[in-house]
């Protein structure tokens, strides 16, 4: 009997749909599947009021934890495979997931465990995943695979649709815009990733798992988006430090700086992103080997 634990947090249910699609046929005579939902003591709102949405940036970027309800999480229980299904907030681990990873229980539990990570995001995730990798390494977990589902529409379109989704609760599609987030089709088709996971689990051999997942396009990395992310994260850190000087999350004294960040971000996305994209696309064409090396790195575990 093999035991799997899926640890997840999801405001919209998207990550639960993704893990359901991948693991729907796992439960049976020889596999036991458990779920653990990360529960903040005071959860974030969904849909988000605008100020609160942007006010989470400093704590996300600086990795400042929130309080969670963890009484029902038993770090002593053993599992053959642990899945961490998570999302990215402001190019960083979402606050609930980061808070879970910072807990003593998570540290104790993850030691020596085989961990598969699954992301359901818009399209900017590579540096948040570096943080995830460093937690797993520090805790002595065995990171055996990674799967990423993104919104494949154009970046400018996906920003517009995700704002509508996260602030008004409407996933769409509506009028000329496609549905927000990971498409229904991609969620359904993620079930194809079950086969390599199942055979690695049953044979207790995870050596080729990531390569097998990559053959099924499990980790899309877009070179120019990844390059922009690196620069954007540096700028987010500066904004975050400035906002945190004015107070903690929710403090009215920081609202001016939070709103300034919001307008900066929208301007950067719609004005600077297209220009920077072009620059990095040219760089990729001029230096394809370096670009491929970067892409390969982020596709690995």
Ligand X SMILES: Cc1cc2nc3c(=O)[nH]c(=O)nc-3n(C[C@H](O)[C@H](O)[C@H](O)COP(=O)(O)O)c2cc1C
* Site of interaction with ligand X (CB under 6 A): 10-15, 53, 56, 87-91, 120-125, 166, 181
| Cα separation, 232 vs 237, whole angstroms | 9
Instruction: Report in angstroms how near the CB of residue 89 gets to ligand X at its nearest.
Output: 4
Q: Whole-number minimum distance, CB 224 to ligand X, in Å?
A: 15
Looking at the Cβ atoms of 42 and 289, the one nearer to ligand X is 42
CA 154/CA 187 separation, integer angstroms: 18
Around 266, how many Cα atoms within 13 Å sit in the side-chain half-sphere? Answer: 10
**Tokens 């929710």 sit on residue:** 250
Alpha-carbon distance of 67 to 40, in angstroms, equals: 6
Q: What is the DSSP string of 220-286?
A: ---HHHHHHHHHHHHHHHHHHHHHHTT-STT-GGGHHHHHHHHHHHHHIIIIIHHHHHHHHHHHHHH
Taking the least distance from each CB to ligand X, the nearer of 10 and 153 is: 10
User: Nearest approach, Cβ of 91 to ligand X (angstroms)?
Assistant: 5
Please say which residue, 266 or 282, places its beta carbon nearer to ligand X.
266
- Closest separation in Å from C-beta 173 to ligand X: 16
In terms of phi and psi (left: phi > 0; alpha: psi -120 to 50; beta: otherwise), the region of 172 is: left
Question: Is the separation of the CB atoms in 143 and 133 below 8 Å?
Answer: yes
Nearer to ligand X, 14 or 299 (CB): 14
The residues facing 116 across adjacent strands are: 83, 145
Nearer residue to ligand X within complex by CB, 11 or 131: 11
**Shortest distance in whole angstroms from residue 283 CB to ligand X:** 22
């Amino acid at each position: 009997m093999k035991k799997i634990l899926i640890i997840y947090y999801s405001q919209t249910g998207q990550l639960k749909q993704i893990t359901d699609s991948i693991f729907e046929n796992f439960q049976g005579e020889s596999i036991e599947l458990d779920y653990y939902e990360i529960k903040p003591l005071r959860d974030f709102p969904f849909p988000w009021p605008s100020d609160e949405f942007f006010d989470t940036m400093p704590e996300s970027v600086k990795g400042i934890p929130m309080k969670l309800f963890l009484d029902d999480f038993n770090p002593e229980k053993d599992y053959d495979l642990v899945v961490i299904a998570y999302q990215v907030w402001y190019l960083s681990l979402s606050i609930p997931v980061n808070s879970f990873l910072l807990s003593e229980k998570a540290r104790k539990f993850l030691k020596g465990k085989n961990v598969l990570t699954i992301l359901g995001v818009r399209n900017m995730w590579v540096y948040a995943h570096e943080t995830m990798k460093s937690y797993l390494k520090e805790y002595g977990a065995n990171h055996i695979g990674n799967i990423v589902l993104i919104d494949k529409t154009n970046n400018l379109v996906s920003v517009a649709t995700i704002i509508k989704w996260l602030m008004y609760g409407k996933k769409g599609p509506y009028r000329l815009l496609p549905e927000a987030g990971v498409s229904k089709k991609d969620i359904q088709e993620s079930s194809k990733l079950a086969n390599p996971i199942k055979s690695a689990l049953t044979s207790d051999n995870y050596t080729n798992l990531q390569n097998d997942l990559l053959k099924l396009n499990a980790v899309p990395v877009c070179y120019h988006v990844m390059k922009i992310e690196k620069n954007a994260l540096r700028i987010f850190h500066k904004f975050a430090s400035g906002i945190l000087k004015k107070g903690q999350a929710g403090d009215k004294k920081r609202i001016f700086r939070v709103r300034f960040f919001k307008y900066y971000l929208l301007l950067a996305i719609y004005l600077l992103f297209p220009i920077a994209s072009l620059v990095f696309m040219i760089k990729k064409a001029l230096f394809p080997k370096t670009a491929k090396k970067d892409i390969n790195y982020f596709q690995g575990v």
